[in-house]
Amino acid sequence: MQIRFLRKMKKKTALAMAALFVSSAFLSGCAGTQASNSNNDKNTIKVGVLHSLSGTMAISEVSVKDAEMMAIDEINAKGGVLGKKIEVVTEDGASDPAVFAEKAKKLLQQDKVATVFGCWTSASRKAVLPVFENNHGLLWYPVQYEGMESSPNIFYTGAAPNQQIVPAVDWLLKNKGKKFFLIGSDYVFPRTANKIIKAELKAKGGTLVGEEYTPMGHTDYSTIINKIKNEKPDVVFNTLNGDSNVAFFKQLKDAGINTKDLITCSVSIAEEEVRGIGAGNMAGQLVSWNYYQTTDTPENKTFVKNYKAKYGQDRVTDDPIEAAYDAVYLWAAAVEKAGSTDVDKVKAAAKGLEFNAPEGKVKIEGENQHLWKTVRIGEVQADGSIKEVWSTPGPVRPDPYLKTYDWAKGLAN
C-alpha cells in the first residue's frame, strides 16, 4: 500500500521537489545579498561572531557564542558603542578549518564587519589568520592555546602557555612530586604543550616517565592506564580533549587509582567539561585556568547570575566563556577610546587597556596583544564545581613565545 502510494506520488512530487530545491538555492542567494545590503545602515556597527554551531566542536563553541551575545546585548542595552547599536552577523564554522576560512572571508569582504569574535581550535584560528591579515580585519580569540603566535590582527583573550601550563608544572613539581607522565590527544595543542612541559621538567629537575598520544575520540585507555600503573608517576599531566576524557577518568577510577596515589592535572577540562565527564569520576583532580565559576569577585557574581538567568539555571560558566565575554567588553572599550572602529585606531587604543573582568583585573599587553591574567590552580569538587587551591598574587604578563624563560630557548625560533 505504502509503496504504491509512493510510486503514485513520485512523479508529481519529484517535480515539485526539484522546483523546491532550485528555488531554495535561489532564495538563499537572495537572502545573502539582502544581508550585505544593510551595510548602508549607518546607525549600527556590524560585528561578526564565527563559531562552530554544528559538528564536533559545537558543544563547546555554542556556550562561548552565548557569552559573546550576552555581552553584546548588555552593551546594546546601555546604548551601544559610539552611540550606535551593535549588529551581529553570525556564521557557522561547522568544525571545519576550510569553512572557517570561507566564512571569515565572507564576514570581512562581504559584510565588512568592524571586528570578529570567534574560533576555538588552533586549526580554525590558523585557518582564518591569513584571511584576517590579508583583509586587515580584527579577530578576538577567547581560548587558551599553545602559544608561539602573535598576529597583529588578532587579540588573544585566553591564556598563553606561561599563564596556564608553565606555572601549573612549576606548582606540581613543588607540591606533588617530580615524576611526570604526559597524556594527550593527537593534535597540535597537546604536542606543543608537552614539548614545553618536557623542556621545563628538564630544567627544573623533574623526570618524564611516559608520553602517550591517542586519536581524537579514542575511548580505550586500559593499556595506557597499565603503563601508568607500572611507571607510578606522581603527576599525570592531561591534555586529552573531548569525549576521551570521559573514558580516561572513568577507567582510571575503575582501575582503583585514586588521587592519593597520583594526581592528574588537566588544562582542557573546565566546568562545562566536568559536567560531561561526571563530577564523581573527577573529584579531587586538579585543573589549571585563569577563571572558575567560583572565582570570588563582585563582577563574577553578576556575570554568573546574568548568564544563568539568560540561558538557564543548569548552565555553567567557565574560562573560555568568561574570556569571550571579556573580549567583547575590551573591544567596545577600545572603540570608545579610539572614537572609531578603524582597525589600526582600535589596536592603538587597546594597548594597555584595563578591564575589571569576572576573573579580576585584566590588561591588554600592547606588544603581543595577549592579556595579563591571573593563574589559578583548582580542584574539582564532588558537586562539579572547581575550588581554587592556589593562584598567582596578581596578573601574569603574557609571553606566547616564552622568551623570558631561559629553559625555553630553542622552543621558538
Q: Could you list the residues that contact other proteins (CB under 8 A)?
A: 6, 10, 13-15, 17-18, 20-21, 24-25, 28-29, 31-32, 35, 53-54, 90-92, 94-98, 101-103, 105-106, 109-110, 121-123, 126-127, 129-131, 134-135, 146, 148, 186-188, 191-192, 195, 213, 215, 411-413
Whole-number Å distance between alpha carbons of 126 and 143: 13
Closest to other proteins by CB, 63 or 264: 63
Contact in structure between 287 and 386 (CB atoms under 8 Å): yes
Kind of pairing, strands 179-185 and 207-214? parallel
Select from 272, 326, 328, 255 the least CA-distant residue to 297.
Answer: 326
Closest to other proteins by CB, 213 or 405: 213
Closest to other proteins by CB, 109 or 219: 109
Whole-number Å distance between alpha carbons of 251 and 381: 19
CB of 293 to other proteins, least distance (A): 26
Closest to other proteins by CB, 84 or 112: 112
Question: C-alpha grid cell for residue 297?
Answer: 569577585
Whole-number Å distance between alpha carbons of 395 and 297: 14
Contacts of residue 279, defined as CB under 8 A and 6 or more positions apart, other chains included, come to: 380, 381, 382, 383, 384
Closest to other proteins by CB, 35 or 255: 35
Question: C-alpha grid cell for residue 371?
Answer: 592579556
Residue that the C-alpha cell 565575554 belongs to: 325
Question: C-alpha grid cell for residue 118?
Answer: 570567534
Closest to other proteins by CB, 93 or 233: 93
Distance from the first to the final alpha carbon of the chain: 72
Closest to other proteins by CB, 186 or 336: 186
Closest to other proteins by CB, 128 or 265: 128
Whole-number Å distance between alpha carbons of 401 and 338: 29
220-to-26, 184, 276 alpha-carbon distances in Å: 47, 13, 17
CB of 291 to other proteins, least distance (A): 26
CB of 376 to other proteins, least distance (A): 27
Closest to other proteins by CB, 103 or 370: 103
Closest to other proteins by CB, 324 or 386: 324
